[in-house]
Structure 1
Amino acid sequence: MTVARVNVKGARRWLSGHPWIYRTDVTERPLMDAGAVLVHDNRGKALGWALWSPLSEISLRLLDRDAEAVIDQAWWDERIASAIARRVPLEDHTNALRLVHGEADGCPSLVCDRYDEWLVVQFMSAGLERFREEILASLRSLVEPSGILARNDVQLRAKEGLPRETVVLHGDVPREIEVHEYGIKFLAAPWTGQKTGAFLDQRENRHFVGSVARGRALDCFSYHGSFALHLAKKATHVTSLDASGAALMRAADNAARNSLDNISFVEANAFDYLREKEREGTTFDTIV
């Protein structure tokens, strides 16, 4: 059995609830490439299983505190199924959501987002890459997606000694996917958009600000206009502000998709624009 041994500081970090152990706290490196290893403290006591990344500053990522666990296909099936089950209530409000959120779901360095019938994944550690096939098998079985895209283009992968790439791992994935969110529709771009295609983590904030919006509203750093779309449901007028003309073109298309005609689009640096409006004495009732 391959073992990593850690010092008192590393062991204490896990015992206090932190899911990582850093390179400087590993006193005995596993004699293997990246993968799953059993972790022992300096007295030889087993602390649990971790993903091992030989080149990373984050050497050990906690997988399972049970030293008797077997990290195999069944383990990944159970862990991913539990993560997906926690999101079931969200399906009443949206067709785009994060199914697996890394350490928060006990699947360190794994991100999996669902966009309608497609999945976008990110494998962000060398240790996790060792289990790519098991994870893909779980996702295909549990979700039955039409396609799975890997947005493995994040800088973090370079620090793990992994290539940065965007590749289809299963089926086919379109360049644009329509997201439905609390009655609002907008296009996500899984191949080229921010994050895995859209800022899914802001869904509840968008819904909330849309529920309290009033009067003249300003959406700074609007990107593709997802906040502006929610604002426009209650505000009398919305200014969608972004430095990217291309992003604002997408925002305008999204507004048309929702039959919203009370949004104007301004291409400008947000800080310059705000200073200008302050000098003019212009005010807004709702600002994001």
Structure 2
Amino acid sequence: MGRLVISAKGLAWLRRGHPWVYRDDLEKIEDASPGNIVILEDKKGRFLAQGFYSSQSKIAFRLITYSAEQINAQFWKRRIQEAYLFRKERGVLKQTNAYRLIYGEADGIPSLIVDRYDNHFVLQTLSLAADNLLTIFIQALHDLFSPASITLRNDLHVRALEGLPLEKRVLWGNLPARVKIFEGKLAFWVDLYQGQKTGAFLDQRENRLLAAQLLQGNILDAFCYQGWFALQVAKNSAQVIGVDSSAEALELAKENALLNGISNVELVKDNVFDFLKEAKKKEKNFQGIILDPPAFAKSKEDLVTAARGYKEINVRALHLLCPGGILVTSSCSYNLLETRFLEILRECARDTGTTLKILYKKGQSADHPVLLNFPESSYLKCFFLEKINF
């Protein structure tokens, strides 16, 4: 087995609990084959941990365990089962049959994503080591769940950082063109092969269900994608307008509305920034507004531009929000910290002469667990804000 020797600086980082060791924090690399499991040691040769080794990425070591136990097929099967039980115990399976089963490092299986849609599974492997273990992961899923299909969605550009090709294929079984899942009391069609991410945005599930309880009246859902927020809030609302720039996403949103017998949702194909601008000119008002944009800051270099984008849409939304109305506003940009997002929202309140009360401060759903010492596992910020007049 290969061996990595960590520097004093790297050891201090490791002892903080972070599961990654960067290449610059290694003093020696011995007999380590890319994509294999290696041992991490200190400069005195003392065992520290086992993990995945990468020769391409800046992240040279991804922690699997601090134990010297044997890592074999049974080990991985046990980790998958533990992840499933974690979600079951937290009530995820009562809310939906579409959820993230494996969330990489947060579930002790570095660089592996597994999303489950009914009994169809979608995998993403984000390192060569995870690629090399694909057969073992597939077998473990077979043993535990007897899946109807398993699909590989390795069409993420992050794989290029590992020197890995982009690919997409069905690994097992028959994948239908669409899979029907449920979330709360509603059903949705999902395209697991062509849809965003692995087919849907599962991380906002709990926030959608909360919005369904709180929002009433005329509602605007900006960046509505396939209409999941819009349809969840429709039951208690007079009318919902969903806006998105993707005709394909809106078509599926229409089908999801028909699937649930919902007729009070109007879907509009438009650029959200333009729509908000025109809505202000027309003096439109809403009792509830949902802003769930794509990640504006995909890297630290994007932060200045991203901040402008988040400020613009939130300022425009506050102009349209009635007194007593609720703004549900999100950022899925990891690089934009929660403190900075709150600063932007304070600036928006100041610039519009608005007083905002935080009703709820939320994040990603329980099937996307957060490790305290791994900030990269926490990315979604979602605030429920009430516009009030004193």
What range describes the TM-score normalised by the shorter chain of this pair?
Answer: over 0.9
How far has the Cα of 1:78 moved from its partner? 1.1
Q: How do 1:240-255 and structure 2 match up within 5 A?
A: 240-255=242-257
Q: What letter matches 1:34 in structure 2?
A: G
How far has the Cα of 1:265 moved from its partner? 1.0
Q: What letter matches 2:213 in structure 1?
A: S
Q: How do 1:111-190 and structure 2 match up within 5 A?
A: 111-190=113-192
Q: How do 1:275-286 and structure 2 match up within 5 A?
A: 275-286=277-288
Secondary structure of 1:78's match?
A: helix
Q: 1:170 to 1:83 in 2, by over 3 A?
A: same
Q: Return the alpha-carbon distance in structure 2 between the equivalents of residues 34 and 250 of structure 1.
A: 39
Q: How do 1:19-34 and structure 2 match up within 5 A?
A: 19-31=19-31, 32-34=33-35
Q: Return the alpha-carbon distance in structure 2 between the equivalents of residues 126 and 239 of structure 1.
A: 44
Aligned residue number for residue 54 of structure 2:
53
**How many residues get paired?**
287
Q: 1:116 to 1:30 in 2, by over 3 A?
A: farther
Asked whether 1:214 is paired with 2:212, we answer no
Q: Percent of counterpart pairs with the same letter?
A: 38
Q: What letter matches 2:162 in structure 1?
A: E
Q: Return the alpha-carbon distance in structure 1 between the equivalents of residues 75 and 36 of structure 2.
A: 14
How far has the Cα of 1:258 moved from its partner? 0.6
Secondary structure of 1:236's match?
A: strand
Q: How do 1:219-234 and structure 2 match up within 5 A?
A: 219-234=221-236
**Contact 1:11/1:47 (8 A) holds in 2:** no
Secondary structure of 1:84's match?
A: helix
**Contact 1:101/1:112 (8 A) holds in 2:** yes
TM-score (norm 2): 0.72
Q: Return the alpha-carbon distance in structure 2 between the equivalents of residues 41 and 187 of structure 1.
A: 51
**Contact 1:35/1:128 (8 A) holds in 2:** no
User: Which digits, 9 at most, give the CA deviation of each residue in 1:226-258, with x for residues without a partner?
Assistant: 110001011110001011122111111111111
Q: Return the alpha-carbon distance in structure 1 between the equivalents of residues 26 and 193 of structure 2.
A: 37
Secondary structure of 1:128's match?
A: helix
**Contact 1:241/1:265 (8 A) holds in 2:** yes
How far has the Cα of 1:14 moved from its partner? 1.8
Q: 1:30 to 1:139 in 2, by over 3 A?
A: farther
**Contact 1:39/1:49 (8 A) holds in 2:** yes
Q: Return the alpha-carbon distance in structure 2 between the equivalents of residues 149 and 72 of structure 1.
A: 23
Gaps of 5+ in 1: none
- Greater Cα shift, 272-281 or 26-35: 26-35
How far has the Cα of 1:65 moved from its partner? 0.6
Q: Return the alpha-carbon distance in structure 1 between the equivalents of residues 9 and 193 of structure 2.
A: 41
Q: What letter matches 1:7 in structure 2?
A: S
Secondary structure of 1:239's match?
A: strand
Secondary structure of 1:285's match?
A: strand
Q: Return the alpha-carbon distance in structure 2 between the equivalents of residues 203 and 30 of structure 1.
A: 45
Q: Return the alpha-carbon distance in structure 2 between the equivalents of residues 107 and 255 of structure 1.
A: 37
Q: Return the alpha-carbon distance in structure 1 between the equivalents of residues 279 and 128 of structure 2.
A: 49
Gaps of 5+ in 2: 291-390
Q: Return the alpha-carbon distance in structure 1 between the equivalents of residues 132 and 39 of structure 2.
A: 15
How far has the Cα of 1:216 moved from its partner? 0.2
> What's the RMSD between the two structures over aligned residues?
1.1
How far has the Cα of 1:72 moved from its partner? 0.6
- Greater Cα shift, 141-150 or 88-97: 88-97
Secondary structure of 2:187's match?
A: strand
How far has the Cα of 1:176 moved from its partner? 1.1
Q: What letter matches 1:81 in structure 2?
A: Q
Tell me which stretches of 4 or more aligned residues in structure 1 moved more than 4 Å.
Answer: none
